[in-house]
């Protein structure tokens, strides 16, 4: 597995812009905005690394990991946007995003282990 530094920085910048947008446009309290923007940054940056910056030894594995990452990036971004405008509690946010990220890690691990 190889990491492209320039693409990692681009993923970092994308994640920062996404978390800023979540913070700016959400209709929730300050504490919930902080949680939402921090969680949005961490989840989008983690997924962006596997989407654009990492390359596996097998091209097949790389393509499957990128497709999986693109699907989950869209899903988590949509989930964050919905939670930003519908109101959320810490328990709901941590549970929903936690399950999504654990499912993503499980699928990505399964894709990477296939030979």
Q: Where are the domains of the chain?
A: 2-113
In the three-class reduction of DSSP (H, G, I as helix; E, B as strand; rest coil), residue 57 is classed as coil
Q: Give the pTM.
A: 0.89
Q: What angle, 0 to 180 degrees and rounded to 10, lies between the N-to-C axes of helices 5-25 and 59-86?
A: 10
* pLDDT of the residue at 97: 94
* pLDDT of the residue at 89: 82
The low-confidence residues of the chain, meaning pLDDT below 50, are: none
Q: How far apart are CA 113 and CA 50, in angstroms?
A: 15
- The number of helix segments (H) and strand segments (E) in the chain equals 4, 2
């Amino acid at each position: 597995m190889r990491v492209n530094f320039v693409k990692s920085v681009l993923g970092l910048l994308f994640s920062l812009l996404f978390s800023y947008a979540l913070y700016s446009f959400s209709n929730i309290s300050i504490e919930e905005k902080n949680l939402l923007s921090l969680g949005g940054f961490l989840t989008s940056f983690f997924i962006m690394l596997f989407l654009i910056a990492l390359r596996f030894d097998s091209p097949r594995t790389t393509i499957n990991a990128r497709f999986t990452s693109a699907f989950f990036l869209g899903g988590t971004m949509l989930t964050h946007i919905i939670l930003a405008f519908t109101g959320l509690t810490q328990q709901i946010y941590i549970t929903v995003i936690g399950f999504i990220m654990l499912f993503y890690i499980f699928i990505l691990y399964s894709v990477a282990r296939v030979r």
